[in-house]
């Protein structure tokens, strides 16, 4: 069901501190905290004695004490104290530990074989530390649907014409042909829309007036990372093989889907732009607009999940689903190879 030997976003780094934080990812219960030196820890959230969540216990220094009988575990999951029978700690008094890394303002977790956890394979974000690029604060929300429905949505440039009418829609988003490209780690669905007005959301952000050439770049990378790139450039300067000009505005929306279980998804995002780097008002405008659009998606996707989980009649696919189907096939092959 899930690809496990990979990095998932578990939280915004700022949201994990010196408290026991209970979460569920990929159907596994996990407790997060930070050691006294600030480094993050993730353990199975269940004492091996009677499976009381360790998050119901106490953080003592860098160890977690179970709130039932005091079994205490260090950051590797090893039991370091058993007060009711000191000197006779059960050999099986061990909890699973997960590799975790802080990067790009996120806390990343490795859900598979810890021996394979290489931080260098965390999804790269170009220009993240470039002061010329502006970043939004981003956000997080839970969506009551399977994570692959969110992935489908983020490989579908056409839905904006109906779901995001007041923000990302615009001439050409409903019928212009789509290109599909595959690479080693994912799929890109894209199109250039030429000589049309900018969408309402971007009209306030572009550096020029009048019509534009516009790129919709919808990319999904394994395990479930969406990269939505929007390029707005003066008419006649857009195209796959054309260089950017001084007026070109680029915004990249990074979207990280972490399955909670088969019915729920934790959705993280932020936007990265090549202009207005220090303009907080622009960042807030973009963040508010993105959150509004994602709430529109949430409403649709939760209903899609209900309908697809309990169908009365069979569903059909359209041509616009080709990118999503290609990604699902790629992911399915990777999961089978892993197992």
Rounded Cα–Cα distance for residues 323 and 220 (Å): 9
**Which token pair is 18?**
């010196």
- Quick check: 249 and 103 in contact, CB under 8 A? no
pLDDT in tens, 84-123: 998 888 889 999 999 999 999 999 999 999 999 999 999 9
pLDDT in tens, 21-80: 999 999 999 999 999 999 999 999 999 999 999 999 999 999 999 999 999 999 999 999
Question: Does pLDDT of 165 surpass 80?
Answer: no
The pLDDT score that the predictor gives to residue 274 is 96
Q: How many helices (H) and strands (E) does the chain have?
A: 5, 19
Closest CA to 11 of 24, 2, 3, 1: 24
Average pLDDT over residues 299-320: 92
Q: How many CA atoms lie within 13 A of 178 on its CB side?
A: 25
Chain-centre distance for alpha carbon 245: 31
Q: Which of 110-119, 120-129, 150-159 has the lowest mean pLDDT?
A: 150-159
> For residues 139 and 321, which has the higher predicted lDDT (pLDDT)?
139
Q: What percent of the chain has pLDDT over 70?
A: 96
Beta bridge partners of 264: 261
The pLDDT score that the predictor gives to residue 105 is 98
Beta bridge partners of 8: 109
Question: Does pLDDT of 171 surpass 60?
Answer: no
Rounded Cα–Cα distance for residues 46 and 206 (Å): 51
3-state DSSP assignment of residue 203: helix
Closest CA to 141 of 336, 297, 316, 247: 297
Question: Does pLDDT of 226 surpass 90?
Answer: yes
Residues in CB range of 122: below 8 A, 6 or more apart: 7, 101, 103, 104, 108
Rounded Cα–Cα distance for residues 212 and 159 (Å): 21
Radius of gyration of the chain (CA): 23
Rounded Cα–Cα distance for residues 179 and 197 (Å): 21
pLDDT in tens, 229-264: 999 999 999 999 999 999 999 999 999 999 999 999
**267 burial level (CB within 10 Å; 0-12, 13-18, 19+):** buried
Question: Would you tell me how many other CB atoms lie within 10 Å of the CB of residue 303?
Answer: 12
């Amino acid at each position: 069901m899930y690809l496990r030997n990979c990095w998932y976003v578990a939280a915004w780094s700022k949201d994990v501190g010196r408290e026991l934080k209970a979460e569920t990812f990929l159907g596994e219960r996990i407790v997060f905290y930070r050691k006294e030196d600030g480094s993050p820890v993730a353990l199975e959230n269940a004492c091996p004695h009677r499976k009381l969540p360790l998050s119901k216990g106490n953080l003592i220094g860098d160890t977690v004490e179970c709130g039932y009988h005091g079994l205490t575990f260090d950051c590797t999951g090893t039991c370091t104290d058993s007060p009711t029978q000191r000197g006779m700690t059960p050999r099986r008094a061990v909890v699973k530990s997960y590799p975790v890394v802080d990067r790009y303002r996120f806390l990343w977790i490795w859900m598979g074989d810890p021996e394979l956890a290489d931080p260098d394979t965390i999804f790269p974000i170009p220009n993240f530390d470039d002061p010329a690029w502006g970043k939004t604060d981003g956000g997080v929300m839970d969506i009551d649907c399977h994570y692959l429905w969110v992935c489908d949505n983020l490989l579908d440039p056409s839905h904006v014409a109906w779901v995001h009418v007041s923000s990302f829609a615009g001439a050409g988003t409903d019928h212009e042909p789509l290109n599909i490209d595959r690479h080693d780690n994912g799929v890109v669905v894209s199109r250039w829309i030429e000589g049309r007005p900018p969408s309402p959301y971007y009209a306030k952000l572009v550096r020029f007036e009048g019509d534009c050439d516009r790129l919709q770049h919808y990319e999904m990378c394994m395990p479930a990372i969406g990269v939505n790139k929007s390029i707005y450039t003066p008419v006649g300067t857009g195209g796959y093989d054309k260089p950017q000009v001084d007026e070109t505005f680029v915004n990249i929306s990074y979207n990280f889907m972490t399955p909670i279980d088969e019915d729920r998804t934790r959705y993280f995002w932020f936007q990265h732009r090549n202009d207005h780097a220090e303009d907080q008002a622009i960042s807030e405008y973009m963040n508010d607009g993105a959150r509004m659009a994602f709430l529109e998606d949430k409403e649709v996707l939760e209903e899609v999940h209900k309908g697809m989980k309990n169908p009365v009649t069979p569903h059909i696919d359209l041509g616009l689903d080709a990118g999503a189907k290609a990604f699902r096939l790629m992911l399915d092959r990777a999961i089978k190879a892993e197992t």
